[in-house]
């Protein structure tokens, strides 16, 4: 029998024969009613057995939590949690499987990931968005003092604990302990680049599954679509700016994802510029689910990536968890029952102190049902328009070309999330929607690779192409910040409390999502006593950004 050719970028051990036309486009209800088959994504993706890339992603997500417990928790609490997390990681499937990518494709993804990370502004070589005023302070405090990090407010005498999802910062902060704050910033760039590289590697494998005959083209289309994925924000922004008399393209140099005011789904350019610490875990979790959700060995180890991701971004991990539950239930209660496994139990033990830390003092974070917090008629109208321009514009044409449970699970979750408000700027949608948006981006990109057969599919393909151009325009508006605004230096002296007081968000933000009062009933006993760092008194503080800020 002839040897199968290995698709570009995939090792021989992972090469599989491509599906036949009948397998990729099986007969089903859509064929019977319209005569036009749709690509069955459920047959193409989700069955991959966990491999060393899977393990590497799990390790990447889990390492910050292990470091945090070792540095912040009392030894009697840290030891069992760290051992449980390490054991759950050691028991994850995939350790004995080969690396699924060729050295060339691995190197390409690493290079592209590091380049992609350059847009985050973590290094301040290009413009950094205003959120980096606070992120720089968090990294500085982790790098320049003992753990846990605590503060003494010199004006009020209040004691505070740094209480925030720290997964993005902890490894770089540890580097800063050894080599200083400049090394910590460089490490944060490299750490971000590694995470984005892992996402690109997972996309490469999904592209091969969707487009086995032309994997290079599939990789280019899916990566390009994912990196630039946006809603149709350009249209309402043009209308609003025109109405205000500022010109149709006034969002150039400003961005414009916040047009509904009540909520937003962050496009991927926006996410990288403003919230890479939330986007990376959401994207990695979504890509893990897309690759493995139908694999029999994945459910017994599913709790670890979700628990580890929560330390990066609780709401992003919650969105991924909702997707995971929907996908498990789709396979039946028997598969869901397998989630009650020893590795998942160990992951819960690992996650328990992290979750106690994350929820400390969160009662002050604004939250509640949308229709109670805002006038019903207005909220429903904005909600409907928001879904049309951010979700349904992709779901409807994609569903004509492809079918699969992943699409409907992501679409359903995205339609429901705006119904509850949590956090400043409604983090429930902005963060909780990141994982299902990543799934929607991958499914829509797959739809662009499907041969269009029949009038309906050709119209759907044309619609997707038009919407892609509009989305690209919106992405360009967001990315314009990098070319219209000047870089500004990070503050080397301001701890979090002072940076928050001097930040551009001080008048509009409740900092309860970064700070908890100390001592805390939730944390007392099992967390080390923090060494409180005094702040300067109001009116006597040195400016954090004496030269130029955002």
Is 12 domain-assigned?
no
253 pLDDT tier (thresholds 50, 70, 90): confident
pLDDT, residue 31, reads 43
pLDDT at 24: 52
Provide the pLDDT for residue 170.
97
What is the rounded average pLDDT of the residues 34-51? Answer: 82
Average pLDDT over residues 260-270: 92
Strand partners for 369 = 420
Q: pLDDT band for position 249 (50/70/90)?
A: confident
* CB of 503 closer than 8 Å to CB of 130: yes
Tokens read off for 363: 């009662």
166 part of a folded domain? yes
Question: In 10 A of CB 383, how many CB atoms?
Answer: 19
**Would 539 be classed as within a structural domain?**
no
Give a yes or no: residue 460 inside a domain: yes
Residue 230 in tokens: 């946006």
CB hemisphere CA count around 12 (13 angstroms): 3
Given a cut of 50, is residue 22 above it in pLDDT?
Answer: no
Q: How confident is the model at residue 26 (pLDDT cuts 50, 70, 90)?
A: low
- Is residue 422 domain-resident? yes
CA distance linking residue 36 with residue 196, whole number of Å:
37
pLDDT band at 8 (very low <50, low <70, confident <90, very high): very low
pLDDT given for residue 10 in this prediction: 53
99: in domain: yes
Per the domain annotation, does 25 fall within a domain?
Answer: no
Q: Note if the bond before 148 is cis, omega within 30 degrees.
A: yes
The H or E element that residue 369 is part of is: strand 367-369
> Residue for token digits 């400049």?
182
pLDDT at 385 over 50: yes
- Average pLDDT of the chain to the nearest whole number: 88
Helix/strand/coil for 402: strand
Q: What pLDDT is recorded for position 284? A: 98
Residue 30 has pLDDT above 50, yes or no: no
Q: Is the pLDDT of residue 13 over 50?
A: no
Which residue did the predictor score with more confidence, 4 or 366?
A: 366
∠ CA 205-211-215, nearest 5°, is 65
In whole angstroms, give the CA distance from residue 272 to residue 277.
9
Q: Is residue 7 very low, low, confident or very high in pLDDT (cuts 50, 70, 90)?
A: very low
Question: Using CA atoms, how far apart are residues 174 and 181, in angstroms rounded to an integer?
Answer: 10
**Digit-coded pLDDT (tens) for 437-457:** 999 999 999 999 988 888 999
DSSP 3-state assignment of 2? coil
Closest CA to 272 of 440, 487, 115: 115
pLDDT at 17 > cutoff 70: no
CA 87 remoteness from chain centre: 25
Give the side-chain half-sphere CA count within 13 A for 93: 17
**Average pLDDT of the residues in 381-410:** 95
Per-residue DSSP letter, 403 = E
Cis-peptide into 289, omega within 30 deg:
no
Contact 322, 286 (CB under 8 A): no
Q: How confident is the model at residue 21 (pLDDT cuts 50, 70, 90)?
A: very low
Q: Which one, of 424, 305, 419, lies nearest residue 370 by Cα?
A: 419
Domain tally, the chain: 1
Give the dihedral sign, CA 280/424/535/150. negative
How far does the chain reach from its first CA to its final CA, in angstroms? 64
Q: Which element (helix H / strand E) includes 149?
A: strand 149-152
4 located within any domain: no
Q: Give residue 9's pLDDT band: very low, low, confident or very high (50, 70, 90).
A: low
What distance in Å separates the CA atoms of residue 218 and residue 59, rounded to the nearest whole number? 27
Distance CA 122, CA 431 (A): 19
- List the domain range (segments joined by +) for residue 277: 52-484
User: Which pLDDT tens digit goes with each residue over 288-343?
Assistant: 999 999 988 888 999 999 999 999 999 999 999 999 999 888 887 777 777 788 99
- The band of 166, judged by pLDDT with boundaries at 50, 70 and 90, is very high
pLDDT one-digit tens code per residue, 67-94: 999 999 999 999 999 999 999 999 999 9
What is the tens place of the pLDDT at every residue in 181-215? 999 999 999 999 999 999 999 999 999 999 988 88
pLDDT, tens only, 492-528: 888 998 998 888 888 777 777 788 899 988 898 899 9
Q: At what angle do helices 276-292 and 314-330 cross, to 10 degrees?
A: 10
User: How many helices (H) does the chain have, and how many strands (E)?
Assistant: 26, 8
Residues 6+ positions from 153 with CB-CB distance below 8 Å: 159, 160, 497, 535
The dihedral built from the CA positions of residue 454, 460, 463 and 467, taken in this order, carries a sign that is negative
CB-based contacts of 154, cutoff 8 Å, min separation 6: 534, 535, 536, 537
Q: For residue range 88-141, list pLDDT tens digits in order.
A: 999 999 999 999 999 999 999 999 999 999 999 888 989 999 999 999 999 999
Q: What is the pLDDT of residue 39?
A: 85
pLDDT of residue 477: 92
State the pLDDT confidence band at 1, using cuts at 50, 70 and 90. very low
């Amino acid at each position: 029998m002839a040897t199968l050719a290995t698709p570009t970028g995939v090792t021989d051990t992972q090469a599989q024969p491509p599906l036949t036309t009948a397998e990729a486009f099986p007969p089903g209800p859509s064929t019977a009613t319209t005569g036009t088959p749709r690509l069955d994504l459920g047959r193409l993706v989700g069955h991959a057995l966990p491999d060393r890339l899977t393990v590497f992603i799990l390790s990447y997500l889990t390492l910050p939590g292990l470091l945090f417990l070792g540095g912040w928790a009392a030894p009697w609490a840290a030891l069992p949690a760290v051992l449980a997390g390490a054991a759950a990681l050691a028991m994850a499937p995939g350790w004995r499987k080969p690396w699924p990518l060729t050295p060339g494709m691995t190197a390409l993804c690493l290079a592209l990931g590091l380049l992609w990370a350059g847009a985050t502004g973590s290094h301040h070589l290009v413009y950094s968005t205003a959120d980096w005023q606070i992120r720089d302070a968090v990294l500085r405090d982790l790098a320049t003092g003992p753990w846990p990090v605590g503060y003494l407010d010199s004006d009020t005498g209040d004691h505070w604990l740094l209480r925030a999802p720290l997964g993005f910062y902890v490894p770089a902060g540890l580097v800063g302990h050894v080599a200083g704050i400049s090394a910590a910033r460089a490490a944060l760039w490299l750490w971000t680049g590694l995470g984005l590289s892992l996402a690109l590697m997972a996309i490469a494998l999904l592209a091969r599954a969707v487009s086995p005959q032309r994997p290079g083209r599939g990789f280019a289309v899916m990566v390009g679509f994912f990196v630039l994925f946006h809603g149709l924000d350009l249209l309402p922004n043009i209308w609003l700016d025109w109405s205000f008399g500022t010109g149709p393209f006034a969002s150039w140099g400003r961005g414009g994802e916040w047009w509904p005011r009540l909520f937003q789904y962050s496009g991927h350019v926006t996410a990288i510029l403003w919230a890479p610490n939330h986007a990376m875990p959401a994207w990695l979790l979504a890509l893990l689910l897309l690759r493995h959700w139908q694999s029999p060995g994945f459910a017994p180890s599913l709790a670890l990536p979700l628990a580890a991701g929560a330390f990066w971004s609780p709401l992003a991990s919650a969105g991924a968890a909702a997707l995971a539950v929907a996908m498990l239930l789709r396979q039946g209660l028997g598969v869901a029952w397998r989630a009650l496994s020893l590795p998942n139990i160990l992951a819960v033990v690992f996650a328990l102190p992290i979750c106690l830390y994350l929820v400390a003092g969160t009662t002050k974070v604004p939250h509640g049902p949308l229709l109670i917090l805002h006038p019903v008629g207005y909220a429903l109208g904005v909600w409907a328009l928001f879904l049309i321009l951010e979700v349904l514009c992709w779901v409807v044409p994609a569903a004509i070309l492809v079918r699969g449970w992943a699409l409907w699970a992501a679409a359903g979750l995205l339609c429901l999330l705006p119904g509850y408000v949590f956090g400043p700027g409604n983090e429930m949608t902005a963060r909780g929607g990141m994982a299902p948006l990543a799934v929607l981006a991958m499914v829509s990109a797959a739809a662009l690779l499907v041969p269009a057969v029949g009038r309906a599919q050709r119209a759907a393909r044309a619609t997707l192409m038009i919407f892609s151009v509009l989305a690209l325009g919106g992405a360009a508006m967001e990315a314009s910040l990098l070319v219209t605004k000047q870089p500004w230096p990070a503050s080397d002296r301001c701890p979090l409390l002072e940076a928050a007081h001097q930040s551009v968000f001080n008048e509009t933000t409740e900092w309860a999502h970064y700070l908890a009062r100390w001592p805390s009933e939730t944390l007392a006993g099992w967390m080390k006593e923090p060494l409180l760092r005094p702040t300067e008194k109001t009116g006597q503080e040195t400016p954090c950004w004496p030269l130029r800020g955002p």
